[in-house]
Structure formats: structure tokens, C-alpha cells
Structure 1
Amino acid sequence: MTEPAPVLPETTVTTVHLSQVLRSPVVARSGQVIGRVDDLIVRLPGGDAYPPVSGVVVSMGGRRVYVSADDIAEFGVGRIVLSRNKVDLRGFERRDGEVLLRADILGHRLIDVAAAELIRAYDVELDHIGDAWVLVRLDTRRPARLFGLLKSTGGHAARDWKAFEPLIGHTDSITVRGLSGRVVGLKPAQLADLLEEADKREQGEILDRVHGDPELEADVFEELDPDEARRLLGERSDTEVAALLGRMRADDAADAIIDLRQSRRRRVLDLMPPGQRTKVITLMGFNPDSAGGLMNVDIVSCSPETTTAQALSSIAAATTMQPEALLKIHVLEESGRLAGVVSVITLLQTDAGTAVRELMDRDPVRVAASTDLTDIALLMADYNLYTVPVVDDNDRVLGVVTVDDVLEATIPEDWRRREPAPRPLREPEQRSAPGSATTPDGVTHP
């Protein structure tokens, strides 16, 4: 027997919450209730637009069917009224690029881009703009009580949808949604933190986004906790691991190789680019906590007769090198012995035609490859150094240790697990829907 339609007062609604729509009756034009709302569908548009509601998933006697937004005459709190009496009874099949608000947004975490952290949405706000209902805001405050369906007993902590990046988990939708510039615009360390916090499914989608930028992917793996990097590399083929390590800094790649199962090390090394393989094998021969194990083997060098302009040009051309290793240029004699170092600041403040011989520190602090981490840290602190050259017994430069390498190696492991101090956040530009206003608390209200 057909369920009678509820009698509701006439109201004009400009904003509704998903929780107010789910399980609401779906009423045919004749007034008969034909089912209940199971989910709402949006499609993520290109550009900077808000996603419009494209349809409704209706539960009808154990069957889930699709109703297009074009067939909805009235959409609001408590019921949805159709403009026709018949619906297509074929079972609902998700199409590529479709986002289900209940299943995909409430059921999964999102990336808060400004804070670079994973959050959970507890409700979704939809505004009526023009002729369409659009996804405009998310409620990120946990409701006071949950009874099966999402029910909020208090106010709403609404934030602009554009502040978030969804992790929907639907593989076929990733390509359609495209690579988000907001995600790949995060710093490698922030992406590494997200990966360490994410579950396996969330990690997969974040990595899929990052994989589109191979250099960024390498930078992210350099920042990962060694145990997490080992696990993620263990899920990739030898060829994939070799390609990734080939783009990483040689010292980080050497650490990653050592962390691989012994049975894989030789196979991965053989697949790496020859130049990178040579550097990695060299670094693997040193104690990881020594200058040799910490150093970066790529340096910028010049002869004593090189002019300031030529030296700066060499630094500018070293686009693939670690920026911290470019703070000083190493001046080498013809034999390869270290003659001195000169800082980039000195070069910038000197006439372009001046030879570096006249500017260099002729007796720079240097360390042997066997120097331990503590001694390096003390030298850097005593002499206010950001880089220290590593030399062999004949004073030929083997590489350079940078201050960030020393900090990473000296920070206790339990410190890395501390909650980071709050930092000022700059939200993405807020674009409020017509007829709405943003209050000082950052909550947008109609």
C-alpha cells in the first residue's frame, strides 16, 4: 500500500543540511510517497565552482534507483517532490566522477588544505543558487549525539567547501576529478605528515595525486618516517622503487636502499640510473651517523680564478641540487684539493669581475668522512655554519653536510611524535554564496 505524503507547511528554504534530507520521503507529482532519500549526488566541476547536485539516490523497496535533479520540483527539509509520477526502476550504477555526499564525504576524511591535516565532515550544507542546489560548506564539528543517521543537536561549524580536498576512495573518479593543485601545492613535509596519519586507502589516493609530479613524489619520500617509507616502498615493484630513488637525494636514497630487504637491494641498485647508483653505493660504505653517511655528494665548485659572475652562474644552473648545499661554493685547486669556500652572500655583494681567490675563506672548517654526528653538530654551533665540507685524507672534497641533515639526525625520535605547535593559517579565498555573510568566527551564514 502506498505511503501517504506528509503534510508540510509552505516554506522557502535557501539552505539545507544533508542530515535534514537523508531518509526524507520522495514524493511523486501525484502526492504518493515512492521511496526515501538514500544519498545525494554531485559532480565536481572544473575551475573554482561549487559542485551542483546532479541527482538523488532513492531507496525503493530494497532497490536503489537514480533520479535526476532535472526531475525534482521541490527540494527541501523533510521531503523531495518530483515533477513526474514515474521513475526509472533500473538499479543505480555510479558513473565516473560522481560524488555521493553520504557515502563519500561523510564516510571518509578530507584534507584541510590550510592546516594540512585530515579532518572528518559530520554534515554537508547545500545552498540554493540560481536554479540549482550546490555543495557550499562542510560542518566539521562532531555532533553532540549520533543515532544511526547523522543528527546534530547544536549549531553548525560551517566552513567553505573550497577549503578542503576530498579523499573519496573511488578509483575511477580520480582521473575525472584531475590532479588538484591545492594538494600538490603543499610542502613535501606536510604531505609526508598526511601520509603518516592516513589509513591505507587514504594513502593510496594521496599517493595517486602526488605521483603525477615525480619530483614532488621523491621529495615527499625523503620526508617520510623511515618505517613508513619502507612499508610503502615494499608495496612497489623493483622498477618503480628504482625510478623513485633515482630522483631522490643520494643520501636519502642510500638510507632507503639500506632499509629494503637484503634480497631486493641489488636488484633495485641495478635498475637505478648509473650516476645515482654510483653515488648511493659510495654513501652506503659509510656509517650512517658519520659525516660520510650524512653528506650530500653533489656540490658546486670552481677554480680560484673564477669570477664572481661565473660562480653565481654555476650556482644558478644547479637546479637539481639541494638548495642548502648551494649556500657556499667550493674552490678547488687543479689537483682537486680544497683551496677554500666562498658564500653566496659574499658573491652577491661583490663586483662581478672579482676573482673568488680574493674572496674565499682559505682555511674553512672541514671534517673527515669518519667524523661523528656529535662533533659535526658542535662544529656547526661553534662556528655558526650551515654547511661543512667533507674531505678525504688528501683534502679532496667528498661531499657536504648541511644543517638540515644534522637536525634531522639529532632530533630524538620521540620528539617527532609530538603534536606540532599551532601555526597561523591562511584560509583559501572565501567566496560566499549570494545572500550569505561571513561572521568573524569564520562561519558562513545565510
Structure 2
Amino acid sequence: MVDPGGRSLGRLSDVIVRLRGADYPVVTGLVVGVGGRELFVPVEQVAALDAEGLVALETARLDLRPFGRREGEVLLRADVLGHRLIDVGEARLVRAQDVELAERDDGQWLLSGVDTHRPHRLLGIFGDRSTEHACRDWKVFEPLIGHSRSALVRRPTARIRRLRPAEIADLLEDASRDEEREILGDVRQDPELEADVFEELEEDRASRLLNARTDEEIAAVLARMRADDAADAIDDLRQGRRRTVLDLLPAGQRAKVLTLMGFNPASAGGLMGMDFLALPPDTTVSEAEAAVRRANRLQPEALTSVYTGDEDGRLLGWVRLVTILQSDPGLRLAEVSEADPVRVGPDTDLVDVALLMTDYNLITLPVVDDEGVLLGVITVDDVLEATLPEDWRRREVAPPPDAHRTAEAGGITDSAEAGSVTGTAAEAGGARGPEAREEPSP
């Protein structure tokens, strides 16, 4: 770092950016080492910043108070370079090896891109690299910074919530404890998504995460989960907590969970979900369509079929949803449904369930008691999950052939005329100071 006359003043330690929700982070200043002290230099005082690592200041006057990070500030070397980020486009954890800063026409510097390729040699921030890689758009990534006050700023617009629950569960399986805590902090902003993620987690991981929470927090998650997954989760809780958590569940969910806990997990009763749509046989096709539209809280997979039953809940018939959509709206369900449907009892084992669903090309299979009362429905995804070998569950699946066409989010509209400046991660950590910093004096 040099003054207007070219004389050396100190050495660059870090670059500070401020998070701005879904927009690109903006550079607000630098952390510089001067005489063994870490000082803050506002970006307005920087006359030039180039790819060779030279920082030229407009004035030699410096604020000599120690640097301290403010809320929402991110230090590129300390927090990003060498740390892991979530690649939202590919739903995986990657490590940031390099960052790219772009200068807009108005002179404002933005954090525009990240390079996740490991360079052949590490020379330090703004140093030359032996191999160049194209940086990808910053908006494709979600940083895992570990700074709690910065995390709070990011959470309202966290990109991780674009991912599917199964993808987030995979991230958690690969995350460290600190990364896991930050990912879950973002996911908890959407309680429905959080419940879906817990449904997808491996049992040991879900059990550990739930047991770390209070009884009230566990019940809040289980209340939004499918009853069969909630029953499995309660079984995995410590013995002394099960009854308390059950008592905290809403009455309807508690009744479903207690019913399911009475069955062998590997039986039809243990596999079934208790969300299904059963209507009287004289219901018209148009009324059935309306009932499906209203059933927005039921598991979508269970709505691929509609069942008919009598006043006592005994199963009479079933009809595929596609048949309903293709039938005359004035017809009754009794006229379009199949009588004497394939069904099983709650004690039927997994192998028989799988054979029946395969033989009859079923997406759902009803479960009835000795009186023929419909207890629940097994969906094909439940059977696949139960039959898939344990060592295949977290196998990395090849991406689809058109994955390369997926557009990355966002784009810099005011591109830099003078190019961009990049830096590689060379040293662990970075400048740290007091939690609060006063405004620099004039």
C-alpha cells in the first residue's frame, strides 16, 4: 500500500465487503498492516487497486484505531478464501480458492465471482497464479462464514432455500459441525422446509440433531413432518424424552404417530402414511377434482389415487387421479373407480408389499384392517427407500446430460472497464479486531 507519492505505507491484509441480500457484496474498505497494527482504510480513500497487488491511496492520512468488524461485514481472506461455500447450482459443498472483484463504471467495487479450482501454487492475496480458471458468478454460491452477526444478515435471502430437501440433507451429511449449524440456521427460517429436510436425513444424523434441541423445538419440527417419519424420529429419541415430545404434538398428529408406532417398521403398517383422500362412491368426478384441489396439506404422492369408502371407512374402490381428470365431470366415482382394489394388512412384510406393487404397477397401495377399514397408504417412494441398499443411499448420481445448460443466477450489468482483480487463499485466518468499530475520524 502506497501513498500518492509512491511511498510504502503498509501491507494489505484483507478486503472487506458488505453483504446486500441478493445483490453482489460491495467492497467497503481494506484491512492493512501498518507497524504491526491492523487498521481500517475506507474504500473511498483508495485511488487504485490492481491485479498486481498494489493499493494506491489518495492521501497518506490513516485512522490509527485498531480494526474491528461490524455487523454484516465479510472479510474475504478470513471468511471466504480457503473456506467452504454451498454451490447452489450443483447442490454441493466446495472450497473457495480465489475470488474476483469487478469495478463498475461508477467506480464501485463488487465481489463478482468465485473460483473453486485449486491452484498449483498459493502466493497470497492478489498474487499471480500459475494456472488461471474462470470464476463463476458469486450469486451461484451461499457462503458459510461462521460469523454469527453476518449470518443473521444473510438469512432472509439465503440461496440455500432454493435447493430440494434431499439436496440440503446431502449437504448436511457432508458438513462439519460448524457448517451444519449455519446451514440449519438458514433452513429454520422456513419451518416447512426444515421438516422436509429432517425427513430426508439419515436416522443417526436426524436423531443427533433433534436430541440437541429442546422438547418444544423437537415437537415443532415433528408436527410438520409426515406422521410415519415423525414416528421413526420419536423412536430414535432418548427414552426419557419420547412421552414429553408426544404430549407436545397437536392432537391429530399425536394420534397418527401413536398408531404408527404400534407397527413393525418393516411391515406395511410401519411403511404406510396416514394421509390419503377417501370419498363416498356417489361423489361426482367434478366434486372429486375439487376435493383434490383442497387437499393441499396432504402428501402429493398419496394424491395420485383417490379411494372410495362407506360411512364406516371400509375401502370400496380406488381410481387414479389421471382417470378422474380424463372422465366426464358428471359421472360418479363408483362408475369410474375399480372395485375390490389390491390391498394389504398392516402386518404384511416389505417383500410382499414390493411384489404386489410391481406386479400390479401400483404407485400407491392401501392398507386395511381385518374389517376392511382403510388405515393408510403406502407410496412407491416409501418402498424404494426401504428396499434401497444402505451403501447406495448417498451414492453420487451422475448429472443429467443437459446440466451444463443451467443458467447461473444474476449477472454484473455494469461490467468493469479496467478488468477484475483476483486473489488466492494463501494464509489461514485473517485480521481480527474488536467486535465494534467507531466511525473513522475525518
Give the TM-score normalised by the residue count of structure 2: 0.89
Pick aligned residue for 2:101 from 126, 139, 145: 126
Counterparts in 2 of 1:340 and 1:266: CA distance versus 1, 3 Å: same
SS in 2 for 1:281: helix
Pick aligned residue for 2:89 from 114, 121, 128: 114
Q: Within 5 A, what are the aligned runs for 1:283-432?
A: 283-423=260-400, 424-425=402-403, 426-429=406-409, 431-432=411-412
Counterparts in 2 of 1:138 and 1:185: CA distance versus 1, 3 Å: same
Counterparts in 2 of 1:234 and 1:152: CA distance versus 1, 3 Å: farther
Unaligned runs of 5+ in 2: 423-442
1:166 paired residue number: 143
Q: How far apart, CA to CA, are the structure 1 residues paired with 2:257 and 2:193?
A: 20
1:279 paired residue number: 256
Q: How far apart, CA to CA, are the structure 2 residues paired with 1:182 and 1:351?
A: 44
SS in 2 for 1:124: strand
On the 8 A contact 1:143/1:151 being kept in 2, the answer is no
Q: Residue by residue, what CA displacement relative to the aligned partner does 1:13-56 show, whole Å, maximum 9, x if unpaired? A: xxxxxxxxxxxxx12335432211110001122443x3221100
SS in 2 for 1:194: helix
Q: How far apart, CA to CA, are the structure 1 residues paired with 2:109 and 2:324?
A: 60
Counterparts in 2 of 1:88 and 1:189: CA distance versus 1, 3 Å: same
Q: How far apart, CA to CA, are the structure 2 residues paired with 1:55 and 1:435?
A: 20
Q: Residue by residue, what CA displacement relative to the aligned partner does 1:195-233 show, whole Å, maximum 9, x if unpaired? A: 111111111111111111110110010001111111111
2:228 paired residue number: 251
1:45 paired residue number: 20
Q: How far apart, CA to CA, are the structure 1 residues paired with 2:115 and 2:39?
A: 27
Shift of 1:434: 5.0
Q: How far apart, CA to CA, are the structure 1 residues paired with 2:174 and 2:334?
A: 51
Q: How far apart, CA to CA, are the structure 2 residues paired with 1:151 and 1:112?
A: 25
On the 8 A contact 2:266/2:350 being kept in 1, the answer is yes
On the 8 A contact 2:85/2:96 being kept in 1, the answer is yes
1:72 paired residue number: 46
Shift of 1:429: 4.1
Pick aligned residue for 2:157 from 180, 192, 217: 180
Q: How far apart, CA to CA, are the structure 1 residues paired with 2:320 and 2:212?
A: 43
The answer to whether residue 37 in structure 2 is matched with residue 60 in structure 1 is: no
Counterparts in 2 of 1:93 and 1:435: CA distance versus 1, 3 Å: closer
Q: How far apart, CA to CA, are the structure 2 residues paired with 1:372 and 1:63?
A: 70
Q: How far apart, CA to CA, are the structure 2 residues paired with 1:288 and 1:237?
A: 26
| Amino-acid identity (%) | 55
On the 8 A contact 2:21/2:153 being kept in 1, the answer is no
Give the TM-score normalised by the residue count of structure 1: 0.89
Q: Residue by residue, what CA displacement relative to the aligned partner does 1:94-142 show, whole Å, maximum 9, x if unpaired? A: 0111111111111421111110111111111112222122211211110
Q: Residue by residue, what CA displacement relative to the aligned partner does 1:341-381 show, whole Å, maximum 9, x if unpaired? A: 11111111111111111111101100000000110001000
Q: Which one-letter code corresponds to 1:351 in the other structure?
A: D
Q: Which one-letter code corresponds to 1:431 in the other structure?
A: G
SS in 1 for 2:20: coil
SS in 2 for 1:40: strand
Return 313-322 or 383-392, whichever deviates more.
Answer: 313-322
On the 8 A contact 1:108/1:120 being kept in 2, the answer is yes
On the 8 A contact 2:31/2:40 being kept in 1, the answer is yes
Q: How far apart, CA to CA, are the structure 2 residues paired with 1:177 and 1:376?
A: 46
